[in-house]
Amino acid sequence: MKKMTWLITNCSSDLGRHLAAAVLARGDQLIATARQPEALQALMQRFPETVRVCVLNLTRPEMAQAAVGLAVKAFGGLDVLVNNAGYGMAGAIEEDAPDEYRPVFEVNVFGLIEVTRAALPVLRRRPGGRIVNFSSTTGIAGSVGSGYYVAAKFAVEGLSEALDQEVRPLGLRVIIVEHGPLRTASLGRSVGPARRQIRDYDRTVEHRIYREHNDGKQVGDPAKAVAVILRAVDSAAPPLHLPLGPMDHAATDHKLGSFSEDIDAWRQLAIASDFD
């Protein structure tokens, strides 16, 4: 199998670090990005010849251009882009304020867009490339208490589906990783609670207590998730949608079932809405 060059956003996160290490361990080359590159010192020491570290703040498009430029300068091109960076927000939709929910979209949606746009001209030079966009269970089905994060991941899903149709004829493929709860520090570090809590929403209290009771207890194994992702990237026919874990598959099955029920129940009335 040919040696590939990867660009992974936020390699300082638990999942990003697992993926980065797996990519390098199999002999591939990597542009590892993080807001704080000193967090990647161990990775650089372990793989000095095949990894380059780049500072990347997803709210600054020029940094995305620099990261892609480093891939070209150091390794001659780019084969796989992984949009792994993410930022969460917990709280009822009425509770969260603009300065709390806007960063969710800046990172998860607009940051992903800027990195992807920067990478596409380079990816298009090498047919067979892959764009891996991280979504989650919440990108498939809405869940109480995380509406803005859900909305951001729904945007990632729609953008990725459209992008796949645009680049597939060019020899590129998009993979949407829709993972369930993985045992990482994501709940502790990157999922912030709303500053304000409205008592009327206490009946949907799960979103307030899930973080404190589940951080570090998630059932998903990041190493196993990474192994599946690598197989998908290497596949000649990778899936557009890649749900990971039983919880994600259960959510997908439930969403498809309820969607079909709504459509079937209202089909005859709804399809009669065109001009006669």
Task: For residue 137, count CB atoms less than 10 angstroms from its CB and return exposed for 0-12, middle for 13-18, buried for 19 or more.
Answer: buried
Q: How far apart are CA 77 and CA 134, in angstroms?
A: 22
Reply yes or no on whether 148 is catalytic.
yes
Q: Which of 101, 148, 201, 210 is catalytic?
A: 148
Write the single-letter amino acid at 107: V
Phi, psi torsion values for 127, nearest 5 degrees:
-55, 145
**How many other C-beta atoms lie within 10 A of the C-beta of residue 145?**
23
DSSP label of 223: H
Buried b (16+ CB within 10 A) or exposed e, 105-132: bebbbbbbbbbbebbbebbeebeebbbb
Q: Catalogue the active-site residues.
A: 148
